[in-house]
Amino acid sequence: MSIEQTIPDPVVLWTSSAFVEEVRAWVEAQLRPRGSRLTDEWEQPHTRVWSSTIRFETTDGRVWFKINASGTAQEPALLALLGELRPGLAPDVVAYDEARAWSLIRDGGPMLRSRADPDALWDYWERLLPRYAEAQLALAEHRHRLLTTGVPDRSPTQLPVEYCRLVAELAAQPTEDGGLTDDEASALEQLLPVYDHRCAELAASPVADTLQHDDLHSNNVCWPGDLDDLSSVRIIDWGDASVGHPFGTMLATLNSIAFHARVLNDDARIDDPRVLRVRDAYLEPFGGLGSRQELLRWVALARSTGCLTRALAWESALRDAPAAVVTELEYPVRGWFLELLEPWADMGASTESLE
């Protein structure tokens, strides 16, 4: 029997009646001291190999249980720390079990994507992202505490180390298992000095390493109030988060906004003025750290080097995944790593491409 065949599927466990009953008992125990109890209504709408959630209705409102697989097991402790350091940024934590990577959070309301069509969300993003940026600036002072939760270090100084490791590991894997061809491995090896230089430039910038979500899109934002009410807005799903250059956020976020608004160019460039206004809104709190040209340069560099960050996030998320699941997802670790060879990633390091 192959190694791949012996890997248990977390989804099978997490959807079993025995697991659901165990979770229900734990949730009831957490709610009881708070004067709340479960009703009979529940649903398990999200189950992936990296996490699963169960929605429970209670006499005191809706709550969500979440379990993280080993690659994202740091999320419950991170949520608890964010509740201490930056209340109101992430979901409100009712309880968590760090050893089992379980968390129980209060419902944050409807997701941003459900509020309106992507073309009607520009104002929402222009209000949300400066608040998120301000939180990043404040959290930079707590870098060590963030890392103690298990959040990975994907800073510009660490990324070249991960780059070399990933090239070697993927080059040793068969291509049918997500590995690199000889030509791909050679191209990535030749790109390493350029990648090192880009990371060194980011590391030398006055923008301090901090927490960056790395998967901030409209389905990871809960927005229950009106446009001008940010007090109840919550950013959810921090399993991909890392400590690194904050502008790394601009890869997944801008790509997602542009994609859903149907303004992402065929060559993956982003030049729609509405998307660029969203980027500029995010950059406003960082304005005292550099000129506009410098900020745009660092965004471009962070988007380019962030291809590796996304590859590493997928590597962590799929740590417990059976081979069939990785195949079905079309080997996203390799896919994101190879994005570094695409023209957009080179253009992404050019300030002019983001004007």
Share above pLDDT 90 across residues of the chain, in percent, rounded to a whole number = 91
Name the pLDDT band for 7 (thresholds 50, 70, 90): low
At 353 the pLDDT is 46
Question: Domain boundary at 73, 106, 139, which?
Answer: 106
**What pLDDT score does 90 carry?**
98
Band of the pLDDT at 355, cuts 50, 70, 90?
A: low
Same domain, 173 and 74: no
Predicted local distance difference test score (pLDDT) of residue 26: 98
Q: Which region among 2-6, 76-80, 106-110, 308-312 has the lowest average model confidence (pLDDT)?
A: 2-6
Average pLDDT of the residues in 87-103? 98
pLDDT over threshold 70, residue 201:
yes
Position 1 confidence tier, pLDDT thresholds 50, 70, 90: very low
pLDDT of residue 268: 81
| 89 and 116 fall within a common domain | no
Task: Tell me: pLDDT of 3 over 80.
Answer: no
Domain boundary among 106, 132, 155: 106
Check whether 2 has a pLDDT greater than 50: no
Q: 85-120 b/e with 16+ CB inside 10 Å = b?
A: bbeebbbebbbbeeeebbbbbbbbbebbbebeebee
Judgement on whether residues 149 and 89 belong to the same structural domain of the protein: no
Q: 26 with 125, same domain?
A: no
pLDDT for res 4: 44
User: 184: how many CB neighbours lie within 10 A of its CB?
Assistant: 18
| Least confident segment among 143-147, 187-191, 321-325 | 321-325
Residue 178 reports pLDDT greater than 70: yes
* Rounded average pLDDT over 59-76: 97
Number of domains comprising the chain: 2
pLDDT at 350 exceeding the cut of 80: no
What value does the mean pLDDT of the chain take? 94
Residues 97 and 145 in one domain: no
pLDDT at 266: 84
Q: Do 239 and 76 contact (CB within 8 A), yes or no?
A: no
Q: For residue 180, what is the domain's CATH number?
A: 3.90.1200.10
Supply the pLDDT for residue 6. Answer: 55
Name the pLDDT band for 347 (thresholds 50, 70, 90): low
Same domain (yes/no): 228, 276: yes
Among 106, 130, 165, identify where a domain stops: 106
Q: Are residues 143 and 51 in the same domain?
A: no
127 and 166 belong to one structural domain: yes
Q: Tell me: do 234 and 163 sit in the same domain.
A: yes
CATH at 19:
3.30.200.20
pLDDT at 276 over 90: yes
Confidence band of 108 (pLDDT split at 50, 70, 90):
very high
Mean pLDDT over 31-57 rounds to: 96
191 and 71 fall within a common domain:
no
Same domain, 223 and 350: yes
The confidence band for 348, taking pLDDT boundaries of 50, 70 and 90, is low
- Domain of residue 207 covers 112-354
pLDDT of residue 352: 44
Assess whether 131 and 257 both reside in one domain. Answer: yes
pLDDT of residue 259: 95
What pLDDT score was predicted for residue 349? 63
Task: Answer whether residue 11 shows pLDDT above 60.
Answer: yes
Show the 3-state SS of the chain: CCHHHHCCCHHHHHCCHHHHHHHHHHHHHHHHHHCCCEEEEEEEEEECCCEEEEEEEEECEEEEEEEECHHHCCHHHHHHHHHHHCCCCCCCEEEEECCCCEEEEECCCCEHHHCCCHHHCHHHHHHHHHHHHHHHHHHHHHHHHHHHCCCCECCCCCHHHHHHHHHHHHHCCCHHHCCCCHHHHHHHHHHHHHHHHHHHHHHHCCCCCEEECCCCCHHHEECCCCCCCCCCCEECCCCCCEEECHHHHHHHHHHHHHHHCCCCCCCCCCCCHHHHHHHHHHHHHHHHHCCHHHHHHHHHHHHHHHHHHHHHHHHHHCCCCCHHHHHHCCCHHHHHHHHHHCHHHHHCCCHHHHC
Each residue of 114-142: pLDDT tens digit?
Answer: 998 998 999 999 999 999 999 999 999 99
Among 13-17, 104-108, 232-236, 262-266, the least confident range: 262-266
